[in-house]
């Protein structure tokens, strides 16, 4: 259940004995299409989820800052004025990292007491980490009395994740969490962080976007991520372009190394698919028409980029066979979630078919929910 401002305020009051100065939130996200394109200067098309991290905060009553999460047993203490990369391993690094990034940017950083709660599934590829960072970021800006616009806030949050936590991720998650809007996709050009909000009117067309959290055990995801990055860099090198964003399909097809060619082909065709989807939706097309691009994206990440596993292939295929207009794995790969674009009337059939396919194989049941493009980070009360 999405934590309400009232519930998180109550949590703050019972811990600290007084009201918080305010409550802020930031959402998780799902990527509609554009996979592994972000570190190739390419295009991504995420939207903000209704699932969110909510944080109640007030100036600290002690000399340092404290943070408590409903999802973690222990309160963590740190100094906003002095905390540095390496000081805080574990979940609180995503929080303290924002204080550090603010300080590095020259913004005031008050010592705060923070109490947070989140319904973004952790580690499912729905960006619980960016939700946490951005929620803390908007709280920190308000209580520090500074205005930080949405894109610069996303950049600070990425900095916290890359340079404080030490996770070498692109900037899509934070941009989606900051810029999300109801019925809109966040079309992001990762070369220059330019965004365009693209219409995605699902309910008006009798459509549902299902997210199927496969709960597949993540296997080797970290090492494989690094290998894909270096394969892409090798391809760009061989082609003599700054990034695969600049390569043509014709040039890619002429690459002699089979693996490098397939990796590059995924990136080049995926960028085209993102632009095709945006052109359709921006032109007011029925969203059903993006289905083939979703299917083609899945085939490309399965066959050329090779980042799927049986759990996600089965979910994508069974959803399609049960009536989805398109389906694909979303996120970094080797597990995580599958999305499916489904007529409202077909939702029970698609959900049931995937559940049955998993049960037949003796796999842990997937968790399925409806994803509605939702608001980006803001103050709640
Ligand atoms: P994802 O962002 O895809 O969910 P990550 O590995 O990037 O996965 O981030 C997950 C990490 O973020 C968790 O392991 C935890 O450290 C932190 N985190 C996310 N949500 C919370 C929360 N509600 N409370 C505490 N830590 C959280
Ligand atoms: Mg994350």
Mutating to test ligand 1, I would choose from 48, 129, 169, 174 the residue with most ligand atoms within 8 A of its C-beta, which is: 129
pLDDT for residue 219: 64
Residue 162 above 90 pLDDT? yes
Query: What SS3 state is found at 31?
Result: strand
Write the burial class of residue 13 (CB in 10 Å: 0-12 exposed, 13-18 middle, 19+ buried).
middle
- The residue segments making up the domain with residue 324 are 201-371
- The CA distances from residue 324 to 12, 80, 211, 276, 320, in Å, are 43, 48, 12, 19, 4
Q: Which position has the token pair 């998993």?
A: 358
- Please name which of 64, 69, 58, 70 lies closest in space to residue 83, comparing C-alpha atoms: 64
Residue 141 above 80 pLDDT? yes
Q: For residue 206, what is the DSSP state?
A: T
Cα angle for residues 249, 251, 256 (degrees, 5° grid): 115
What does the block give as tokens for 223? 């090492």
Average pLDDT over residues 133-145: 98
Q: Interface pTM (ipTM) of the complex?
A: 0.99
Average pLDDT over residues 57-73: 97
Query: Domain boundary residue among 197, 222, 257?
Result: 197
Spatial separation of the C-alpha atoms in residues 30 and 370, rounded to whole Å:
11
Residue 221 above 80 pLDDT? no
Residue 220 above 70 pLDDT? no
Over residues 317-355, the pLDDT tens digits come to 999 999 999 999 999 999 999 999 999 999 999 999 999
- Count Cβ neighbours within 10 Å for each residue of 68-107 and write b for 16 or more, e otherwise: bbeeeeeebebebeebeeeebeebbbbbbbbbbbbbeeeb
**DSSP string covering 162-183, please?**
IIII-----SHHHHHHHH--TT
What does the block give as tokens for 43? 């295009």
Longest dimension (CA), the chain: 67
CATH number (domain holding residue 301): 3.30.70.890
173 is catalytic: yes
Average pLDDT over residues 201-229: 90
pLDDT for residue 1: 87
Residue 313's pLDDT band (cuts 50, 70, 90):
very high
pLDDT for residue 169: 85
Spatial separation of the C-alpha atoms in residues 198 and 183, rounded to whole Å:
8
In a domain, 259, yes or no: yes
Q: Are residues 270 and 131 in the same domain?
A: no
Q: Are residues 151 and 277 in the same domain?
A: no
Q: Are residues 51 and 112 in the same domain?
A: yes
Mutating to test ligand 1, I would choose from 25, 73, 91 the residue with most ligand atoms within 8 A of its C-beta, which is: 91
Instruction: Considering the candidates 173, 213, 295, 304, report the single residue annotated as catalytic.
Output: 173
Residue 182's pLDDT band (cuts 50, 70, 90):
very high
Over residues 85-102, the pLDDT tens digits come to 999 999 999 999 999 999
Q: Are residues 213 and 134 in the same domain?
A: no
How many independent structural domains does the chain possess? 2
**DSSP string covering 50-92, please?**
EEEEEEEEEE-SSSSEEEEETTSSS-EEE-TTT--TTS--STH
Average pLDDT over residues 28-43: 97
Residue 54's pLDDT band (cuts 50, 70, 90):
very high
Q: Are residues 30 and 135 in the same domain?
A: yes
Whole-model pTM: value is 0.97
Q: Measured in whole angstroms, how far is the alpha carbon of residue 367 from the centre of its chain?
A: 17
CATH number (domain holding residue 65): 3.30.230.10
Residue 118 Cα to ligand 1 midpoint, Å, equals 10
What does the block give as tokens for 116? 């947070």
Q: Are residues 24 and 171 in the same domain?
A: yes
Q: Are residues 118 and 239 in the same domain?
A: no
In a domain, 60, yes or no: yes
pLDDT for residue 217: 75
């Amino acid at each position: 259940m999405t934590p309400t401002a009232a519930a998180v305020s109550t949590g703050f009051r019972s811990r600290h004995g007084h009201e918080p100065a305010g409550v802020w939130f930031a959402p998780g996200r799902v990527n509609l299409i554009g996979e592994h394109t972000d570190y190739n200067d390419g295009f991504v098309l995420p939207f903000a989820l209704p699932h969110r991290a909510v944080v109640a905060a007030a100036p600290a009553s002690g000399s340092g800052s404290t943070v408590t999460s409903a999802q973690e047993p222990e309160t963590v203490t740190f100094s906003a004025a002095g905390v540095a990369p390496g000081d805080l391993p574990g979940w609180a690094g995503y929080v303290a990292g924002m204080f550090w990034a603010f300080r590095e940017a020259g913004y005031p950083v008050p010592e705060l007491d923070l109490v947070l709660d989140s319904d973004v599934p952790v580690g499912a590829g729905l960006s619980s980490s960016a939700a946490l960072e951005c929620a803390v970021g908007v709280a920190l800006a308000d209580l520090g009395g500074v205005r930080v616009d949405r894109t610069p806030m996303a950049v600070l949050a990425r900095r916290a994740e890359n340079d404080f936590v030490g996770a070498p991720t692109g900037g899509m998650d934070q941009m989606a969490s900051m810029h999300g809007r109801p019925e809109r996709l966040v079309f992001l050009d990762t070369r220059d962080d330019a965004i365009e909000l693209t219409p995605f009117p699902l309910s008006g067309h009798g459509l549902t976007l299902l997210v199927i959290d496969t709960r597949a055990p993540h296997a080797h995801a970290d090492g494989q991520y690094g290998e894909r990055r270096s394969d892409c860099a090798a391809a760009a090198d061989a082609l003599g372009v700054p990034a695969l964003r600049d390569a043509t399909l014709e040039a890619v097809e002429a690459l002699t190394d089979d693996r490098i060619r397939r990796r590059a082909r995924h990136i080049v065709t995926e960028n085209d698919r993102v632009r095709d989807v945006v052109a359709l939706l921006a032109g007011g097309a029925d969203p059903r028409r993006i289905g083939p691009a979703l299917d083609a994206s899945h085939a490309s990440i399965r066959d050329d980029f090779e980042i799927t596993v049986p759990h996600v292939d089965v979910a994508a295929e069974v959803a399609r066979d049960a009536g989805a207009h398109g389906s694909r794995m979303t996120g970094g790969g080797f597990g995580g979630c599958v999305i499916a674009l489904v007529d409202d009337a077909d939702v029970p059939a698609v959900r049931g078919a995937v559940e049955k396919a998993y049960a037949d194989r003796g796999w842990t049941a997937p968790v399925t929910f409806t994803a509605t493009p939702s608001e980006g980070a803001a103050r709640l009360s």
